[in-house]
């Protein structure tokens, strides 16, 4: 939906789900929609794989000989090391650039799709050393077309280490907060900080089980740091030393202010 | 600003800060603004105390003999037990209803005020056993006027136990996440879950030091539950048992979906 009108590309949607294909046809999501990848894969100049991580890896292995020579394959997945390794299966001459748009909601399914989703978001790319300048330039123009704020280039390893912190940890916090026995009694007593922190707890279980598992060393390291930082606050509060607590809060609040993060927040 | 036009009340603003009083006059925030509480307190039918918690307690003690007989005193503070105890100092015939509107941003100061802030928020009331029906009805109409979604009545103790979870814990999470050494390197890699979770870390240090300290038993209990729930997720990920992890995620995500929280989210 966001790609519509991108240069002179014809946009073809492929999905194994019959209801999704029907919805896409009825809503004009693409110029053409099919459940049969083989029908369109051999003539696709750019292939964007938008399945769960294992689905992406499996698709590349299964269809390795059906990609068009010289084409660009990319994805939208929240882990990159495992995807880049999976892409090794592609034949010589098929380029792969890992991609992770930092956009999304807690909802799944085509009925929750909307073309503005990528607006003002970061688009992270993990190219191969051999990725062509033409394909990188294409991804930059694509990011611009769908409304991204910027394009950030990094390695798969750095992506996974940082995303364990900025995304996966946020999801573990959200589900952990929802495990609190007070969850249901607190209705009527919650404000925007609670909604902001717990929103993503309503997650796609299959997807996130894969993301957490495929990036567990970095995620465990991030969670250990979080446990330490939370516990230090617990101890500062327990000590009753208000001056020390104020100093600690001042330190953290200053760090946050220095970040000055602005961006779209898909909360309604 | 939100009270403007509420029935036939004259709205008088009082603040000790000269720049705040000037800003309020210049922007027509109230019908009349003064730095001298004694000028207006003896003729006020309703007094809304909007300082930090200790400021509220001190104000009531200092001006206990200057309130109008039969008036209603209320507040907007995030702890209620300490405030209700402080209100014991008020003379017979001066009513007090504790109040906590679940609305706010991470910004302080009158220049960040806007009249729509309370829209669709909960307004929590902790009345005294002796609070009059007239005063309770007044608070209900006031909540309606400023746009609140509903009015929730509870005890100060229940308020403080629940708010330790829904609000104070969210702030401790936000500052703890910002203490991570990766904070500054992660710029460009963050999405809305990170912004939603860390937004409130840019907090008013003086205010929150008081709120955390004045409610430390309930907050420590909430933080202990969080540490346990986070650690259980850490162990589920470390075990490598994907089925167990998926089951756990399904449990938490279902709880979140059952909550179905909607409300205003002051993120831009």
pLDDT tens-digit profile of A161-189? Answer: 999 999 999 999 999 999 999 999 999 99
Q: Is B257 left (phi over 0), alpha (psi -120 to 50) or beta?
A: alpha
CB A126 within 8 A of CB A155: yes
Residues of chain A with Cβ-Cβ distance to B205 below 8 Å are 246, 249-250, 253
Distance CA A235, CA B209 (A): 14
Inter-chain CB proximity B238 and A227 less than 8 Å: no
Q: Is the pLDDT assigned to residue A143 strictly greater than 50?
A: yes
Instruction: Name the residue facing B104 among A122, A191, A208 (closest C-beta).
Output: A191
Inter-chain CB proximity B225 and A180 less than 8 Å: yes
- Nearest CA-CA partner of A256 in B209, B201, B196: B201
The pLDDT-based confidence of A263 (bands split at 50, 70, 90) is low
Three-state DSSP state, A8: coil
Distance CA A233, CA A227 (A): 10
Residues B34-39: contacts with CB under 8 Å, at least 24 apart: B37/B63, B37/B66, B38/B63, B38/B66
Residues of chain A with Cβ-Cβ distance to B172 below 8 Å are 230, 233-234, 237
Mean pLDDT in residue range A191-217: 95
| Distance set, CA B145 to CA A47, A100, A265, B10, B141 (Å) | 54, 45, 28, 15, 6
Size of interface A-B (CB pairs under 8 A): 325
pLDDT the model gives residue A215: 97
Please tell me what DSSP assigns to residue A215.
T
Considering only alpha carbons, which residue of chain B is nearest residue A197?
A: B197
A38/chain B closest Cα distance in angstroms: 32
**Tens-digit pLDDT profile for residues A114-128:** 999 999 999 999 999
CB A190 within 8 A of CB B78: no
Distance CA A122, CA A162 (A): 14
Q: Is the pLDDT assigned to residue A268 strictly greater than 60?
A: no
**Tens-digit pLDDT profile for residues A25-76:** 999 999 999 999 999 999 999 999 999 999 999 999 999 999 999 999 999 9
Residue that has been written with the tokens 């994805």 in this structure: A75
Q: pLDDT exceeding 90 applies to what percent of chain B? A: 94
CB B16 within 8 A of CB B49: no
CB B224 within 8 A of CB A238: no
- The residues pairing with B95 across neighbouring beta strands, listed in sequence order, are B72
- The residues pairing with A126 across neighbouring beta strands, listed in sequence order, are A98
Mean pLDDT in residue range B167-171: 98
| Distance set, CA B215 to CA A166, B59, B257 (Å) | 30, 20, 29
Considering only alpha carbons, which residue of chain A is nearest residue B185?
A: A162
Q: Torsions phi, psi of B95, nearest 5?
A: -85, 150
pLDDT the model gives residue A224: 98
Q: How far is CA B74 from the centre of its chain?
A: 13
Please tell me what DSSP assigns to residue A10.
P
Instruction: Name the residue facing A246 among B159, B162, B205 (closest C-beta).
Output: B205
- The residues pairing with A101 across neighbouring beta strands, listed in sequence order, are A123
Taking each helix axis from N to C end, the angle separating B169-178 and B216-239, rounded to the nearest 10 degrees, works out to 60
Inter-chain CB proximity B197 and A197 less than 8 Å: yes
Q: pLDDT exceeding 90 applies to what percent of chain A? A: 94
- Nearest CA-CA partner of A112 in A3, A5, A266, A6: A266
Inter-chain CB proximity A102 and B191 less than 8 Å: yes
Please tell me what DSSP assigns to residue B158.
H
The pLDDT-based confidence of B30 (bands split at 50, 70, 90) is very high
Hey, what are A7's tokens? Answer: 């240069």
What does the buried/exposed string (b/e) look like for A163-172 if buried means 16 or more CB atoms within 10 Å of the residue's CB? bbbbbbbbbb
pLDDT the model gives residue B265: 52
pLDDT the model gives residue A216: 97
Considering only alpha carbons, which residue of chain A is nearest residue B222?
A: A180
The pLDDT-based confidence of B261 (bands split at 50, 70, 90) is confident
Distance CA A156, CA B59 (A): 58
**Tens-digit pLDDT profile for residues B104-143:** 888 889 999 999 999 999 999 999 999 999 999 999 999 9
User: What is the complex's ipTM, to 2 decimals?
Assistant: 0.91
Distance CA B195, CA B176 (A): 14
CB A263 within 8 A of CB B190: yes
Please tell me what DSSP assigns to residue A183.
T
- Nearest CA-CA partner of B265 in B171, B195, B207: B195
Q: Is the pLDDT assigned to residue A156 strictly greater than 60?
A: yes
Residues of chain A with Cβ-Cβ distance to B184 below 8 Å are 255, 258-259
Task: Specify the pairing of strand B95-101 against strand B122-127.
Answer: antiparallel
Considering only alpha carbons, which residue of chain A is nearest residue B258?
A: A184
pLDDT the model gives residue B268: 32
Inter-chain CB proximity A209 and B252 less than 8 Å: no
- The residues pairing with A152 across neighbouring beta strands, listed in sequence order, are A124
pLDDT the model gives residue B259: 87
Instruction: Name the residue facing B231 among A152, A227, A257 (closest C-beta).
Output: A227
Inter-chain CB proximity B175 and A253 less than 8 Å: yes
Q: Is the pLDDT assigned to residue B51 strictly greater than 70?
A: yes
pLDDT the model gives residue A59: 98
Mean pLDDT lowest among A54-68, A184-198, B80-94, B138-152: A184-198
- Nearest CA-CA partner of B189 in A184, A14, A173, A126: A126
Residue that has been written with the tokens 């946050």 in this structure: A256
pLDDT the model gives residue B267: 39
Residues near A238 by Cβ (< 8 Å), separated by ≥ 6?
Answer: B216, B220
Considering only alpha carbons, which residue of chain A is nearest residue B171?
A: A193
Distance CA A67, CA A163 (A): 30
Inter-chain CB proximity A233 and B200 less than 8 Å: no
Residues of chain A with Cβ-Cβ distance to B124 below 8 Å are 188-189
Q: Is the pLDDT assigned to residue B216 strictly greater than 50?
A: yes
Angle at A165 between CA A162 and CA A167, to 5 degrees: 95
Distance CA A221, CA A218 (A): 5
A34/chain B closest Cα distance in angstroms: 31
Distance CA B145, CA A55 (A): 53
Distance CA B137, CA B122 (A): 16
**B170 exposed, middle or buried (CB, 10 Å; 0-12, 13-18, 19+)?**
buried
Q: Is the pLDDT assigned to residue B266 strictly greater than 50?
A: no
Distance CA B95, CA B88 (A): 10
Distance CA A166, CA B184 (A): 11
Residues of chain A with Cβ-Cβ distance to B185 below 8 Å are 162
Q: Is the pLDDT assigned to residue A267 strictly greater than 60?
A: no
Instruction: Name the residue facing B226 among A177, A238, A245 (closest C-beta).
Output: A177
Angle at A112 between CA A110 and CA A113, to 5 degrees: 65
């Amino acid at each position: 939906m966001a790609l519509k009108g991108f240069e002179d590309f014809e946009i073809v949607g492929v999905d194994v789900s019959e209801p999704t294909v029907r919805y896409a046809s009825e809503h004009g999501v693409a110029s053409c929609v099919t459940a049969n990848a083989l029908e369109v894969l051999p003539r696709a100049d750019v292939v964007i794989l938008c399945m769960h991580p294992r689905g992406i890896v499996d698709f590349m292995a299964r269809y390795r000989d059906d990609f068009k020579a010289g084409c660009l394959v990319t994805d939208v997945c929240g882990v990159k090391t495992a995807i880049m390794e999976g892409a090794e299966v592609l034949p010589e001459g098929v380029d792969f650039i890992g991609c992770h748009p930092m956009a999304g909601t807690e909802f799944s399914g085509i009925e929750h799709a909307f073309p503005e989703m990528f607006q003002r978001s970061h688009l992270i790319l993990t190219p191969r050393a051999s990725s062509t300048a033409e394909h990188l330039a294409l991804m930059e123009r694509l990011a611009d077309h769908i409304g991204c704020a910027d394009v950030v280039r990094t390695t798969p390893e750095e992506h996974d280490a940082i995303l364990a912190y900025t995304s996966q940890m946020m999801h573990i916090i959200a589900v952990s907060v929802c495990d609190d026995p007070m969850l249901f009694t607190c209705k009527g007593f919650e404000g925007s900080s609670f909604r902001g922190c717990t929103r993503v707890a309503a997650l796609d279980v299959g997807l996130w089980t894969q993301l957490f598992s495929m990036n567990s060393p970095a995620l465990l390291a991030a969670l250990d740091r979080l446990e330490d930082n939370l516990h230090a606050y617990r101890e500062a509060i327990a000590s009753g030393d208000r001056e020390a607590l104020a100093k600690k809060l001042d330190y953290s609040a200053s760090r946050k202010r220095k970040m000055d993060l602005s961006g779209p927040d898909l909360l309604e």
